[in-house]
């Protein structure tokens, strides 16, 4: 039997609980420890999960039993902690997004390669059964030539949510607002299903909150396969709506509503509709983790552990995560310059 990978969590904010639950439920991982600079929070987290929680970084990262870290700190600090972990020869798992700029993201990728450790970014939506089935359908030409792919993320967050952490909605530590924080999971799904993005024209605005980043964004996109589409994202919409992705091809259409996938295929001039099982997620509610399931996180963590044990590239790799980040940053740049942005690569 392959030994279980021993994981330490860095940062014990809201998302750390999801990581902790997913790791503890995994068949090939073990939650070993956590690190926080806050002594009171560290003690509570340690008691909650029956682990050791460190406030001394050197003791945490140099534990010989520690195999890998899961970084759950603000977006703009992922490089700082990831670099130190890689230099300590620990594998690095990062809660989305990989970082707030492509330069910092690429630096993290390079330092992990230099130290021969694996780097994986959490985009758990890819690991839902329905999304895996849909990806297989598209890759096997089940929808034929794709010509349109759209994403709509119209949620609500209170001002108190943004005020709950000094980093939330800031350019330095969050990287922006709704696009890079709430919407990036859906942006990642959209490009994973539709293919790479070629050009973007975007507009952003801050209308209902007091924050440095945007609470509303829209973008028109063209994919490298010639298809077109739009992205709309908001944390101002009351009541929150379920996130939606719409994909249209010459053989049929797909509607992802929340986490339910509805497929309509045209066969011999008749329309056949299918529905793929829904997996619960509360991300569209006004409370970020209301009704949230950690099942897809568990699946990705298990896949990461298996890749590390086999010395393979983990899903989703650092390089793969650059695609969704580039789209978000492309929208930001387009909005600032009022120009169409061509993505490289």
Q: Which is nearest to 135 in space by CA: 191, 174, 184? A: 191
Note whether 84 and 130 are same-domain residues. Answer: no
Note whether 286 and 153 are same-domain residues. Answer: yes
Asked if 245 and 193 touch (Cβ cutoff 8 Å), the reply is yes
Asked if 219 and 201 touch (Cβ cutoff 8 Å), the reply is yes
Asked if 53 and 42 touch (Cβ cutoff 8 Å), the reply is yes
**CA atoms of 332 and 206, how far apart (whole Å):** 13
pLDDT given for residue 344 in this prediction: 85
For residue 71, give its domain range.
5-123+296-314
pLDDT given for residue 1 in this prediction: 45
Contacts of 260 (CB under 8 A, 6+ apart): 130, 275, 276, 277, 278
Q: Which is nearest to 121 in space by CA: 108, 135, 134? A: 108
Helix, strand or coil for residue 120?
strand
Give residue 340's pLDDT band: very low, low, confident or very high (50, 70, 90): very high
Note whether 188 and 109 are same-domain residues. Answer: no
**CA atoms of 78 and 315, how far apart (whole Å):** 18
Note whether 53 and 192 are same-domain residues. Answer: no
Give residue 278's pLDDT band: very low, low, confident or very high (50, 70, 90): very low
Structural domain tally of the chain? Answer: 2
Is 161 among the domain residues? yes
Note whether 132 and 266 are same-domain residues. Answer: yes
Q: Is pTM beyond 0.85 here?
A: yes
Note whether 81 and 226 are same-domain residues. Answer: no
74-102 pLDDT, tens digit per residue, is 999 999 999 999 999 999 999 999 999 99
Pairing relation of β-strands 252-257 and 260-267? antiparallel
Note whether 172 and 283 are same-domain residues. Answer: yes
pLDDT given for residue 187 in this prediction: 98
Note whether 248 and 265 are same-domain residues. Answer: yes
Note whether 92 and 176 are same-domain residues. Answer: no
**CA atoms of 241 and 178, how far apart (whole Å):** 14
Pairing relation of β-strands 228-234 and 146-154? parallel
Is 319 among the domain residues? no
Give residue 280's pLDDT band: very low, low, confident or very high (50, 70, 90): very low
Average pLDDT over residues 113-142: 96
Give residue 30's pLDDT band: very low, low, confident or very high (50, 70, 90): very high
CATH number at residue 155: 3.30.360.10
Note whether 183 and 105 are same-domain residues. Answer: no
pLDDT given for residue 123 in this prediction: 98
Asked if 218 and 231 touch (Cβ cutoff 8 Å), the reply is yes
Note whether 74 and 221 are same-domain residues. Answer: no
Note whether 152 and 253 are same-domain residues. Answer: yes
Cα-based distances in Å from 23 to 51, 256, 294, 300: 12, 27, 9, 10
């Amino acid at each position: 039997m392959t030994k279980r990978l021993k994981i330490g969590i860095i940062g014990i904010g809201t998302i750390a609980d999801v990581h902790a639950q997913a790791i503890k439920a995994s068949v090939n991982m073990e939650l070993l420890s956590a690190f926080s600079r806050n002594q009171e929070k560290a003690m509570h987290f340690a008691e909650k999960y029956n682990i050791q929680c460190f406030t001394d970084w050197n003791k945490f990262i140099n534990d010989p039993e520690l195999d890998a870290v899961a970084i759950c700190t603000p977006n703009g600090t992922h490089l700082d902690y990831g670099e130190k972990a890689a230099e300590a020869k620990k594998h690095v798992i990062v809660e989305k997004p990989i970082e707030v700029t492509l330069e910092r993201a690429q630096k993290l990728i390079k330092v992990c390669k230099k130290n021969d450790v694996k780097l994986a970014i959490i985009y758990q939506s890819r690991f839902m059964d329905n999304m895996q089935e849909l990806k297989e359908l598209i890759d096997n030409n089940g929808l034929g030539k794709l010509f349109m792919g759209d994403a709509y993320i119209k949620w609500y967050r209170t001002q108190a949510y943004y005020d709950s952490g000094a980093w939330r909605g800031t350019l330095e530590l969050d990287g922006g607002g709704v696009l890079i924080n709430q919407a990036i999971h859906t942006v990642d799904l959209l490009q994973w299903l539709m293919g790479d993005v070629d050009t973007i024209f975007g507009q952003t605005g801050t209308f209902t909150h007091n924050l440095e980043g945007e609470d509303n964004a829209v973008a028109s996109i063209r994919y490298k396969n010639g298809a077109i589409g739009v992205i709309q994202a908001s944390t101002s919409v009351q009541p929150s709506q379920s996130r939606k992705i719409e994909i249209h091809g010459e053989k049929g259409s797909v509607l992802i509503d929340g986490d339910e996938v509805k497929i309509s295929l045209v066969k011999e001039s008749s329309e056949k509709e299918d529905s793929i099982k829904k997996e619960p997620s509360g991300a569209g509610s006004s409370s970020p983790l209301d009704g949230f399931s950690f099942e897809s996180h568990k699946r990705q963590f298990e896949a990461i552990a298996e890749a590390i044990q086999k010395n393979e590239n983990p899903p989703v790799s650092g390089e793969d995560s650059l695609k969704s980040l580039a789209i978000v940053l492309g929208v930001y740049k387009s909005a600032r310059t009022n120009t169409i942005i061509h993505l490289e690569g």
